[in-house]
Amino acid sequence: MHIGEGPDPEPLIFNLCTVNFVSSFKYLGSTITKTGDVRPEINQRRAQAWAILQSLWEPLWRHRHITQQTKRCVYHSSVMSVLLYSSETWALNSTLEARLNGFDRRALRRITGTRWHERVSNKELPGVDQSTHCLVPRSDERGPLVRTCPLSSTRAPHLSHAGL
């Protein structure tokens, strides 16, 4: 894949096999596009997360004897982990951020059984903290990645976010 603007170079020939250029491909479960646009990746993640949410309707969400706390734990561990996989590499704008937050609100309304005609605002929705939140912090809010010193020479160094 040729990243950036301009025409693709000639196809690469390796051992008499031609390798053509593509506009997007899958790498470690994420869609990489020629332009670096994350919209297709977010749309795919939303569809996968919604499919998981729907598959848990019969065994979990519709039962009233299962506590909201248990439902929220399952939601965060199964649905949100699929939605936000590799999200730390996404360059989000306000539109994409709104799509992710909209998915979260819609899913929470589905889980809690809140219907649109009940006119419950997002802030009053059970399971939502009262502050406006973003599911994925923007790259400028995450801070730079800093290598920390290992405790001993046998341990490998690890990375942490500055300011955390």
Residues 33 and 51 in one domain: no
**What digits encode the pLDDT tens for the residues 98-124?**
999 889 888 988 888 887 787 877 777
As for how many domains the chain has, the answer is 2
Question: In angstroms, what is the C-alpha Rg of the chain?
Answer: 21
DSSP state of 55: H
Give 11-53 pLDDT, tens digit per residue: 788 888 888 888 888 888 888 888 888 999 999 999 999 999 9
Do residue 77 and residue 130 come from a single domain? Answer: yes
CA distance 53 to 36: 28
Q: What contacts 55, CB < 8 A, 6 or more positions away?
A: none
Q: Which domain holds residue 56?
A: 38-161
pTM equals 0.68
